[in-house]
Amino acid sequence: MATTSRSWFYTTPDARPYMIEERVNHSLWKNRLQGLYMSCVHPFSPIRMEGDWNGMPVQFEFQPGQYFILRSGREVRELIGVLRQVLLMRPTVSYVDATGFHVVEWHTDSGAERLHQIQSNNANQSVRLLKKPSA
């Protein structure tokens, strides 16, 4: 089963954990992340997934068609780059959250409102704008 983000991000998948896992994992594996397996821990929007990659915790949260959030134990450019290819768009913002996770967010809208929320939370550190918000 060769899937793309069109089957789980750009359309709302059935709220069946196994099917979400299959679609997301095949998209990752097809794009050179064979060592990462994500388990669906919440199949309803926003969908949440958890996994482990080379001993590092990885979490996904996404609202199909609206946003995708990657949380990982540290910044890994390879992981970010592959997700950029899978999602077919540039990430909007990155930061380190209060729990110490490195967070990267993709937004299908401008992301301006979310960027304001992130910047106004003093617990978030190292906030970097990765894509200029459109008006």
pLDDT tens digits, 37-57: 999 999 999 999 999 999 999
> pTM for the complete prediction?
0.92
Task: Tell me what percent of the residues of the chain surpass a pLDDT of 90.
Answer: 73
pLDDT band (50, 70, 90) for residue 130: confident
For residues 118 and 1, the model is more confident at: 118
The pLDDT score that the predictor gives to residue 23 is 95
Please write the tens of the pLDDT for every residue from 10-30.
Answer: 998 899 999 999 999 999 999
Mean pLDDT to the nearest integer, 109-131: 87
* Nearest alpha carbon to residue 114 among 68, 52, 58: 68
